[in-house]
Amino acid sequence: MKLFGKKTVWLKVLTASLVMSLVAAACAAQTETADQALQIANSANSAAAAAQAAADAAAAEARSVQAGAAEMQAAIDVAQAAAILAQSTAEDNEAAVAEAQADLDAANSALADATVAAEKAQMEASAATEEAAAAQERAQAAEMEAEEAAQRAEDAEARAAEAERTAAGTQEIKLAILSDCEGAFGAFHEQDIAGVATAFAEYAGATITNRSKPTDGFTGASVAGVPINLVGIGCADDTAEAAIRETRNLMENLGADIMIGPLSGDESIAVANYAKDHLNQTFINGTAGAQDTTLTVRAPNFFRFNGDGAQWNAGLGDIAKNTLGWETAAVIGDDYSFAWTSMAGFIAEFCAAGGDVISRVFPPLNETNYSGFVEQLPDPDEVDGYFWAVGGAGLIPALKAFEDAKGPVDGSQHIGNLFWGTPGQFEQLGGRVDGAYVGGFGIAGDLKTANANRHMEIITRHFDEIPFGGNPAPASDAHGSGFFLNYHNAAWGLIQALEAVNGDLSNNHEKLRIELSQVVLDGAFGEIRLDENRQAIQDQFVQRIYTDDEGNLAIRTVAFIPAVDQTFGGTFDGDPTPSRDYPACEERDIDWIGNARTVVDGIIQ
């Protein structure tokens, strides 16, 4: 009976499969895809045959069980007849003995018949079970064929729709922007959106909706006569989870064709992996700087027109070792992909020049109490200097915790990554960081070139204010912001590529991707082109904080390293990726060590 129960469950499953197949066949008929309908019909027939075979197997098993029960009853009858014969023999009752013997002979004959019937029923049940299993395999094979036919039909429908769009020309390009309005980097949200809006206003005829509030968006953009509609601005919070949630809304619910963003490292790794599964859409990095995003993930439809965190720090390790004379350094940075990449650039170059990193400390991103983490750092008399990759909202609390634990900050003993030099951020550091060197973020706000001057003119032509951290700020401040610059360059690169293909997004953006890979930006602070992984090769700058004649903190550019690629002078290849313990501290050759060009009063020497 247990086996019969299994057959009953099997029969129910196959019956459900049959119903689903019939429904699918009806749907296929509605789409008028003949091959799909035929294959699904075959699948339905196979499922029906499998269901019938399962039913036959179940019935045969039931007959086998019944025959077995009959055989058992016949054996019981033989035993009872034998017992009666024995009793009659013991009583020496000849008439009873004769009758009992006749009953025993009849019982034995019935048992023999029942045994033959049971064996036959068992054979039939076994054969039916084998046929049911074979029918199930045929049904599964037919179901796979139906699924393949459905995929072929879907592909054919997509090709037909694409052909129709191609014939008619791209009617509209739907654009989305993803930035962080919350979390550690929420203060830069307006700068990010302003970068995109400025590019579309300058190069694609857009009208800025509000000259003091970039997040109100823009209208009227077009390229090659194709309208570009900003369908949404995503609000993330520096986490991969929020970035994917917002990306899905922008790309799936709002139907964007192209997205510019995200802002932060872990977000960009998640979005690049998402891009691999959505090859009919195009993704252009906002300002995220995790190395993994392009060197490891390498999504064919994800492009980055900015450096990564390591590239941005080119020149710092050389200065620490050969200008400041550091022999040892301690590093502290947020415990996530961008800060690991940022620290990797400093560590690789400082150690390549002969320095030694003796301590690495990693507070969580968005930490609020840094006291326990700065306590892990060596004291100022135990190390020559510190490199900081704590960013966003955590930088000032981390420095205050350092001062509480270690004493006053001496600018000559500290080097910071991009967050130390970002407008709206470095002013909060106070005079104690006077003299500190800073990673350049691919930007040099004081550079005196025609392109840099033009960049300032473009910003102020389209915006009066670009808020920072929810507070009003003059648009001109964005000239020195890598957040604004990188989103701007992403949009500018996109516009150039769209112009090259006349706004054509056919064949899953194939032409657009080719042109994006070949874009060369004559940028505000140097040329930007992409490598084979669609990652920027970019000029880099080192800056230094100083106090101006009015007593205010300011930034000046002091060094220039041209065309830094993502391998960082052959140091990185994507395996392994930057982490808490990679790269190791190793002396090696990096070609720009000792060869950086100085910058004096904004002029590259």
* 140-154, 167-181, 213-227: least confident range: 140-154
pLDDT of residue 13 exceeding 50, the answer is: no
pLDDT higher for 342 or 440? 342
What is the average pLDDT across 36-45? 68
pLDDT of residue 498: 98
pLDDT of residue 133: 86
Strands (E), 261-355: 282-284, 302-303, 328-333
If one counts every other C-beta atom within 10 angstroms of the C-beta of residue 379, the result is 10
pLDDT of residue 14: 45
pLDDT of residue 64: 78
pLDDT tens digits, one per residue of 460-509:
999 999 999 999 999 999 999 999 999 999 999 999 999 999 999 999 99
pLDDT of residue 68: 79
Helix (H, G, I), strand (E, B) or coil at 597: strand
CA–CA gap between residue 353 and residue 322 (Å, rounded)? 8
pLDDT of residue 162: 53
Q: Which of 598, 604, 579 is nearest to 331 (CA)?
A: 579
pLDDT of residue 44: 65
Strands 226-236 and 173-180: parallel
Q: How many CA atoms lie within 13 A of 242 on its CB side?
A: 19
pLDDT of residue 144 exceeding 90, the answer is: no
If one counts every other C-beta atom within 10 angstroms of the C-beta of residue 568, the result is 24
Computed from CA positions of residues 218, 222, 227, 231, in that sequence, does the dihedral angle turn out positive or negative? Answer: negative
* 161-165, 222-226, 317-321, 524-528: least confident range: 161-165
CA–CA gap between residue 363 and residue 375 (Å, rounded)? 11
Per the listing, tokens 């077009």 go with 222
pLDDT range class, residue 169, cuts 50, 70, 90? low
pLDDT of residue 385: 98
pLDDT of residue 25: 43
Q: What percent of the chain has pLDDT above 90?
A: 69
Q: Is pTM, for the whole model, over 0.85?
A: no
pLDDT of residue 62: 74
pLDDT higher for 185 or 426? 185
pLDDT higher for 393 or 262? 262
Query: Which tokens is 508 given?
Result: 């899953």
Number of residues that make up the chain: 605
pLDDT higher for 45 or 27? 45
Residues with Cβ within 8 Å of residue 13, at least 6 apart in sequence: none
Query: Which tokens is 358 given?
Result: 């003796």
pLDDT of residue 546 exceeding 90, the answer is: yes
Cβ burial of 413 (10 Å; 0-12, 13-18, 19+) is middle
pLDDT of residue 28: 45
pLDDT higher for 536 or 80? 536
CA–CA gap between residue 257 and residue 255 (Å, rounded)? 6
pLDDT of residue 37: 64
CA–CA gap between residue 493 and residue 483 (Å, rounded)? 16
Give whichever of 73-87, 318-332, 420-434 has the largest mean pLDDT: 318-332
pLDDT of residue 58 exceeding 50, the answer is: yes
DSSP string, 337-389: HHHHHHHHHHHHHHHHTT-EEEEEE-PPTT-S--HHHHTTSPPTTTSSEEEEE
pLDDT of residue 340 exceeding 50, the answer is: yes
pLDDT of residue 29 exceeding 60, the answer is: no
CA–CA gap between residue 229 and residue 538 (Å, rounded)? 30
* Helical packing angle, 94-168 and 34-90, nearest 10°: 170
pLDDT of residue 430 exceeding 70, the answer is: yes
If one counts every other C-beta atom within 10 angstroms of the C-beta of residue 533, the result is 20
What is the average pLDDT across 187-216? 98
pLDDT tens digits, one per residue of 345-358:
999 999 999 999 99
pLDDT of residue 63 exceeding 60, the answer is: yes
What is the average pLDDT across 154-160? 68
Q: What percent of the chain has pLDDT above 70?
A: 90
Name the helix (H) or strand (E) containing 292. Answer: helix 292-292
Residues with Cβ within 8 Å of residue 338, at least 6 apart in sequence: 264, 265, 266, 288, 289, 290, 309, 391
Q: CA of 428: how far to CAs of 186, 246, 264, 431, in Å?
A: 17, 31, 22, 9
pLDDT of residue 22: 44
pLDDT range class, residue 167, cuts 50, 70, 90? low
pLDDT tens digits, one per residue of 91-134:
888 888 888 888 888 878 888 887 888 788 788 878 878 887 88
CA–CA gap between residue 284 and residue 534 (Å, rounded)? 10
pLDDT range class, residue 564, cuts 50, 70, 90? very high
pLDDT tens digits, one per residue of 212-271:
999 999 999 999 999 999 999 999 999 999 999 999 999 999 999 999 999 999 999 999
Backbone angles phi, psi at 467, to 5 degrees: -60, 150
What is the average pLDDT across 64-82? 82
* 77-91, 247-261, 314-328, 500-514: least confident range: 77-91
Query: Which tokens is 263 given?
Result: 């802002």
Q: Looking only at Cα atoms, what is the longest distance across the chain?
A: 139
CA–CA gap between residue 82 and residue 494 (Å, rounded)? 98
* Helical packing angle, 34-90 and 2-31, nearest 10°: 170
pLDDT of residue 46: 73
pLDDT averaged over every residue in the chain: 89
Amino acid at 109: S
Please give the angle made by the CA atoms of 172, 178 and 180, to the nearest 5 degrees.
160
Q: How many CA atoms lie within 13 A of 142 on its CB side?
A: 24
Asked if 194 and 463 touch (Cβ cutoff 8 Å), the reply is yes
pLDDT of residue 378: 98
If one counts every other C-beta atom within 10 angstroms of the C-beta of residue 309, the result is 29
Helix (H, G, I), strand (E, B) or coil at 183: helix
CA–CA gap between residue 474 and residue 191 (Å, rounded)? 11
CA–CA gap between residue 587 and residue 583 (Å, rounded)? 11
Q: CA of 492: how far to CAs of 259, 305, 486, in Å?
A: 13, 9, 10
pLDDT of residue 371 exceeding 60, the answer is: yes
Q: What is the DSSP letter of 285?
A: -
